[in-house]
Amino acid sequence: MRPFDRLAATLGLLALLVIPARASAQSVLRDAETENLFRDISREMIVSAGLDPRSVQIILIGDPSINAFVTGGQNIFIHSGLLIAADNVNEVQGVIAHEIGHIAGGHNVRFGEGAGAATGISLLSLVGAAAAVALGAGEAGMALLGLGTAAAQNKFLSFTRDQESRADQAGAKYLGAAGVSGKGSIAFFQKLLGQEFRLAIRQTNEYARTHPLSGTRISNLEDVYFKDPAWNKPSDPALQARFLRVRGKLIGFVDSPAQVMIRFPVSDGSDAAHVARAYAWHRSAYPDRATAETDTLLRKLPRDPYVLELKGQILLESGRVDAAVPVLRDAVKYAPGEPLIQTLLGHALISGETTADYAEAEPLLKKAIARDRENPFAWYQLGVIYNHKGDTSRAALAAAERYSLEGNAKGAAANAIIALAGLPRGTPDWLRADDIALAAKDELGNKKRR
């Protein structure tokens, strides 16, 4: 994990935020435009699965491998490498549909069924966090299972292959119900099949794998997709354009600036190329060239909140706070429901260090947290405001929230106790501080016992 004090430098565009330890131990990439795209391309599939779109989170992880998995309730994790490897939005929808199949099938809960059957034969075959394997974390996760008896392994592997097959079929059903073609799903499995051949890791013995062979999965899915009325339906051009820009932004963030310039030369005038180059120039400390890229887009899309957000971030991180604030105000104006953009504007205002700026930032940050409580940087900024006002109890509560999200139980407990001492007993803030203190103490106690 990158230190928390470096998060400010990347918050607006692709912020590396530490999400709760219960969800993932990897870095999470937070970006308003990307998360909005995920919501829009998955909503109908989630509804068709009988789930509530507000309860299903799709989270981007900073990992170059091509992978996706579900864990921790209704959370879908997509690796950055998968998003970059996809050629079109339909391929990403195919992956998401499969993961929704895991959620709707209760596979994160039913993992115990497969584990229980295997442990009845041999406890040694289930050493470590094997749940990640059952939920789509890939063949590499088999290393977590240890070297138990062949009978136990075969029992467990059979169970996970069955879950993967069920998720494939369920995902195909949800794609069809949403009127989305399965061509992207097939195309992505073909990518995986090609990768297996290139890396010489393809196992012909399906019974030694956590997942069915890619060729088998393609064959089984083609029988379903070819009959679906949506098979020949093209992807929505608007969604595809949004996907390409999101992917370009991600490439600008994760690749070296030199690689970005090779992949998106100056001759490329696409929206994706402009945002990728803007981020590459920004990372190379050429703010004027970076803002020139965003200005080119803004001449075409003057009310685009995500381009305004990017320009504001570049200006802010280049030390031009006064220029960044009005740009970010426009970004919030055109996307009033985006908590990450609100947080970035709040951060810019706090950087001005005036009473009027603090007064403008406070309601913005409260709105951002009301929509997205799991944003440690927003809690940090709100704590700065409370501290400036002399409200040490609420500053401590904000710090407790932040430390809790970062997985720092000791910091969460200490600050929650400070907050409890100064807040009126029985108020919502006092009750929240009490909850954090109890949870942190339990976590510390569990660590001590281990």
Strands 75-79 and 57-61: parallel
In this structure, are residues 293 and 275 in contact, taking their beta carbons and an 8 Å threshold?
yes
**Whole-number pLDDT of residue 381:** 96
Give 225's contacts (C-beta < 8 A, 6+ positions apart): 172, 181, 182, 183, 185, 186, 231
**Mean of all residue pLDDT scores within the chain:** 81
pLDDT of residue 291 exceeding 50, the answer is: yes
Strands 28-30 and 15-17: antiparallel
**Whole-number pLDDT of residue 195:** 66
Give 62's contacts (C-beta < 8 A, 6+ positions apart): 16, 26, 27, 28, 29, 80, 254
Give 401's contacts (C-beta < 8 A, 6+ positions apart): 373, 376, 379, 412, 432, 436
Kindly report the number of other CB atoms within 10 A of residue 36's CB atom: 18
- In a 3-state reduction of DSSP, which class is residue 77? strand
Helices (H) and strands (E) in the chain, counts: 21, 5
State how far the Cα of 243 lies from the Cα of 230, in Å rounded to an integer: 20
Written as six digits, the tokens of 209 are: 């794998």
In this structure, are residues 274 and 297 in contact, taking their beta carbons and an 8 Å threshold?
yes
State how far the Cα of 301 lies from the Cα of 402, in Å rounded to an integer: 35
pLDDT of residue 232 exceeding 90, the answer is: no
pLDDT, tens only, 36-55 = 999 999 999 999 999 999 99
Give 160's contacts (C-beta < 8 A, 6+ positions apart): 114, 133, 134, 210, 211
- In a 3-state reduction of DSSP, which class is residue 205? coil
Give, in degrees to the nearest 5, the angle at Cα 81 between 201 and 328: 175
Judged by average pLDDT, the poorest of 20-24, 91-95, 176-180, 369-373 is 20-24
311 membership: H or E segment, kind and range: helix 305-317
State how far the Cα of 301 lies from the Cα of 247, in Å rounded to an integer: 19
According to DSSP, the residues that pair with 68 across neighbouring strands are: 78
Judged by average pLDDT, the poorest of 68-72, 214-218, 252-256, 388-392 is 214-218
Judged by average pLDDT, the poorest of 108-122, 404-418, 430-444 is 108-122
**Whole-number pLDDT of residue 190:** 81
Task: Give the model's confidence band at 15: pLDDT under 50 very low, under 70 low, under 90 confident, else very high.
Answer: very low
Phi first, then psi: give them for residue 68, nearest 5 degrees.
Answer: -155, 150
pLDDT, tens only, 129-143 = 333 333 444 444 444
State how far the Cα of 151 lies from the Cα of 121, in Å rounded to an integer: 7
State how far the Cα of 229 lies from the Cα of 356, in Å rounded to an integer: 58
Q: Flag whether the pTM goes above 0.85.
A: no
pLDDT of residue 420 exceeding 90, the answer is: yes
Minimal CA–CA distance to 306: which of 89, 32, 39?
A: 32
Written as six digits, the tokens of 337 are: 């429901």
Can you state the angle between helices 355-371 and 376-389, rounded to 10 degrees?
140
**How large is the C-alpha radius of gyration of the chain?**
24
State how far the Cα of 103 lies from the Cα of 115, in Å rounded to an integer: 18
Task: Give the model's confidence band at 198: pLDDT under 50 very low, under 70 low, under 90 confident, else very high.
Answer: low
Task: Give the model's confidence band at 199: pLDDT under 50 very low, under 70 low, under 90 confident, else very high.
Answer: low
- In a 3-state reduction of DSSP, which class is residue 76? strand
pLDDT of residue 92 exceeding 80, the answer is: yes
pLDDT, tens only, 262-274 = 999 999 999 999 9
pLDDT of residue 200 exceeding 80, the answer is: no
In this structure, are residues 94 and 182 in contact, taking their beta carbons and an 8 Å threshold?
yes
pLDDT, tens only, 209-231 = 445 566 677 777 877 888 888 88
State how far the Cα of 148 lies from the Cα of 80, in Å rounded to an integer: 33
Please give the biggest Cα pair distance in the chain.
69
Q: What average pLDDT score do residues 110-126 get? A: 36
Q: Alpha carbon 411 to chain centroid distance?
A: 25
Helices (H), 19-134: 32-48, 80-85, 89-104, 107-119, 131-134
pLDDT above 90 as % of the chain: 58
pLDDT, tens only, 310-363 = 999 999 999 999 999 999 999 999 999 999 999 999 999 999 888 899 999 999
In this structure, are residues 355 and 385 in contact, taking their beta carbons and an 8 Å threshold?
no
- In a 3-state reduction of DSSP, which class is residue 79? strand
**Whole-number pLDDT of residue 416:** 97
Minimal CA–CA distance to 232: which of 172, 181, 174, 176?
A: 181
State how far the Cα of 81 lies from the Cα of 250, in Å rounded to an integer: 10
